Amino acid sequence: LLARIGRAAGLPPVVVVSEETGVRPLGPAPGHFILLDPVDGSNNLRPWFTPCPALAVSVAIGSLDLLAKYGDERALLVTANRDIFG
């Protein structure tokens, strides 16, 4: 399904990495990766009172070449994080 959506949107080949889906290459010879965490921080919610639950949607896009070179956050080109409750 993700590959079909990517092709329909005309996106270049990428590797999608998510806790929910694992590592999924979309297309041949991807040059970039997308990190998705649709419910980042869900472990912060408990059955007892939580004064300020932290739930967010997080996404980052990076270069596979830079990831191979540095192996850390310097490979990231764009990041975004949005509070679900805010």
Please list, in sequence order, all residues whose beta carbon lies within 8 angstroms of the beta carbon of residue 38, skipping any fewer than 6 positions away: 18, 20, 57
Q: 67-73 contacts: CB < 8 A, separation 24 or more?
A: 67/33
pLDDT greater than 70 at residue 68 = yes
* Section 69-83 average pLDDT: 93
pLDDT average, residue stretch 75-86: 86
pLDDT at 65 over 90: yes
Please indicate, yes or no, whether the overall pTM of this predicted structure exceeds 0.75: no
- Per-residue pLDDT of 4-61, as tens digits, reads 776 777 778 899 999 888 999 988 899 999 998 877 565 555 565 655 666 778 899 9
